[in-house]
Amino acid sequence: MTSSLPPLAPSEVEGNSAEGSVPRHVAIIMDGNGRWAIRRSLPRVAGHRAGAEAVRRTMQAAVDSGVEVLTLYAFSSENWRRSEDEVSDLKGLMRFYLERELGTLQKEKVRLRLIGEPAAFGNELYERLQQAVEETRDNDRLTLVVALNYGSQGEIAGAAKALARAARDGALDPETIDIAAIEGLLHTCDLPPLDLLIRTSGEVRLSNFLLWQAAYAELHFVDTLWPDFDEAAFNSALGEFARRQRRFGGR
């Protein structure tokens, strides 16, 4: 599915201040659901359910603030290492969220987009996800990108393999491979460049999320556990973004 949002090249804004601006594309590593539950002597699935409420609040805050794209790290390719029960709970929560929130997506004119390899969740859930993507495809107020079974290193390796195959088959001169050629094969190729990446829970790392895309993104780390993240926290991150000088290595 092709996005109607034209990418904004860094050269168009290089050297400019972000003062007073709203990021076009915000991504969030939603971390801390398990710790939130443990601190309350609750099962981990309770933390994931509370985290789903934080998704709803954050999505609404993004819509209200004028953000064009919100990308959420929902399930990494490494999350399969978790217990079978927890993975099953996460799948059930996805089904529940789709059934409950599809109406909200339509009402707020939010388009759902998936990146990663969601087919690994099985035919039933994958078909429901694809149906939600199709039903919301014409919405244009916010694009909600959900990363499912996603890993950035695998994404980049996949782009490299595609270029290598093209070169092997004589369809591509290796000397012509540049940044644009790689970006054109990433899952986010038709989205605006990433402006702001937020991580909750006090961890200060990217955890294999949008590694290429984050090259010149502003990074914002907060101690708040994801289930406690709310509109005020999101707006605070936008405020911090607006105060930063974005130089893109120019000076």
State the average pLDDT over residues 168-192. Answer: 97
Helix residue ranges, H only, the chain: 10-13, 33-39, 44-65, 84-107, 123-135, 152-168, 179-183, 231-243
Q: Has 3 been labeled as part of a binding site? A: no
Q: Which two tokens stand for residue 77?
A: 């390719």
- Residue 251 included in any domain: no
| Total of domains in the chain | 1
What's the predicted TM-score (pTM) here? Answer: 0.89
Q: Is the dihedral of CA 133, 238, 192, 188 positive or negative?
A: negative
Longest dimension (CA), the chain: 60
Is 212 annotated in a binding site? The answer is no
Residue 178, annotated ligand binder? no
In a domain, 57, yes or no: yes
Residue 15 confidence (pLDDT) above 90: no
Q: Is residue 12 part of a domain?
A: no
**Residue 12 reports pLDDT greater than 70:** no
Is residue 85 scored above 50 in pLDDT? yes
Q: Mean per-residue pLDDT for 188-216?
A: 97
Whole-number pLDDT of residue 251: 60
Banded pLDDT at 9 (limits 50, 70, 90): very low
Nearest CA among 156, 106, 164 for reference residue 136:
106
Tokens of 106: 């339509």
Query: 205 to each of 75, 121, 156, 214, 234, how far by Cα in Å?
Result: 16, 26, 18, 12, 19
- The reply, when asked if residue 77 is annotated as ligand binding, is yes
pLDDT, tens digit, 9 for 90 and up, residues 35-70? 999 999 999 889 999 999 999 999 999 999 999 999
How does the average pLDDT of the chain come out, rounded? 90
For residue 168, being part of any structural domain is answered with no
Of residues 63 and 97, the one with the higher pLDDT is 63
Output the pLDDT for position 195: 98
pLDDT band at 90 (very low <50, low <70, confident <90, very high): confident
pLDDT at 86 over 90: no
235 carries an active-site annotation: no
CA 104 to the chain's CA centroid: 19
- How crowded is the C-beta side of 153, counted as CA atoms within 13 Å? 6
Residue 16 has pLDDT above 80, yes or no: no
Q: Contact, 208 vs 185, CB < 8 A?
A: no
Single out the catalytic residue among 79, 139, 190, 228: 79
**80-84, 113-117, 130-134, 219-223: which range is least confident on average?**
80-84
Do the domain assignments include residue 155?
A: no
Average pLDDT over residues 147-157: 96
72 membership: H or E segment, kind and range: strand 69-76
Question: What CATH number should be reported for the domain holding residue 109?
Answer: 3.40.1180.10
**Is residue 206 marked as binding?**
yes
190 catalytically annotated: no
Range of the domain at 94: 18-150+193-243
Give domain status of residue 170, yes or no: no
Residue 168 known to bind ligand? no
Domain membership of residue 45 (yes or no) is: yes
Model pLDDT for residues 212-233, shown as the tens digit of each residue: 999 999 999 999 999 999 999 9
Local confidence band at 84 (pLDDT 50, 70, 90 cut-offs): confident
In a domain, 139, yes or no: yes
